[in-house]
Structure 1
Amino acid sequence: VVVTLAVDGPHFDQYTGGVYSHEPGFYDKNTALHGMLLVGYGKHGEDCWILQNSYGTDFGDEGFMYLKRGTGKALGCCSILVSPTYPKV
C-alpha cells in the first residue's frame, strides 16, 4: 500500500529510528507531502505503522520508519490515512 505523509521536511529528514510522532502544522512553510510504502504494522514500544522509504538504507532504521498508529485523530499521524492507494490486479 502506498501512503502519503504530511511531514516537516527538516524534522523528517533527521529521523534515525524509534516511533515517529512529530505532527507538522499543515500550512507550515516546511510541510511537504511525501510518499512511502506501508509494509506492515506492529509494536516498536508502542503501536506503529511500518513504512519503507525510497531514500535507501541511510534513512531511518535501515530505510524503514515506524510511525505512531492509533492517535485517535481521523487522519492519523502525519495524515497517513488520507489517501492510501493499492493496485487492482
Structure 2
Amino acid sequence: MDASDDSFQFYDHGVYDPHKCGSKDRQLDHGVLAIGYGTTPMNYWLMKNSWGTDWGLQGFFKIAKDNNKCGICTSSVYPVIQ
C-alpha cells in the first residue's frame, strides 16, 4: 500500500479514508496484512500493520474498502496450501 502520507503515519482512530493516496504499483511502499472487514460506519478492511502496538488501533487500522484506497488491493497475495 502507499503509506507515505503523514495522515497514515499518524493514524489513531476511525476508518482511514484519505483523499491523497497513491494506488499504482510504483507508489506502493509498505506491506500490511488483511485480517477482516466491517461495514460500520462505512465499508472497510481491518488491517494489521507492522509498526507495533503503539501505532493506530493497537497495531491495527481500518481503511475504506471501496475504490482501492492507497492501492490496498493492487498487489495482494495469498498462500496456497497443498
Q: TM-score, normalised by structure 2?
A: 0.81
Which of the pair is proportionally richer in helix?
2
Which of the pair is proportionally richer in strand?
1
- What residue is the counterpart of 1:78 in the other structure? 70
Q: Which amino acid aligns with 2:69?
A: C
The partner residue of 2:53 within 51, 54, 57 is 57
Structure 1, gaps ≥5 residues long: none
Contact 1:18 1:66 in 2 (8 A): yes
Structure 2, gaps ≥5 residues long: none
For these two proteins, the number of residue pairs brought into alignment is 77
Q: TM-score, normalised by structure 1?
A: 0.75
Provide the identity percentage.
32
Instruction: Quote the Cα distance in structure 1 between the aligned partners of 2:77 and 2:21.
Output: 24
For residue 44 of structure 1, report the CA deviation from its aligned partner.
Answer: 3.7
For residue 33 of structure 1, report the CA deviation from its aligned partner.
Answer: 1.2
Answering whether residue 2 of structure 2 is matched by residue 10 of structure 1, we say no
For residue 65 of structure 1, report the CA deviation from its aligned partner.
Answer: 0.3
- Please list every run of at least 4 consecutive aligned residues from structure 1 whose deviation after the TM superposition is greater than 4 angstroms: none
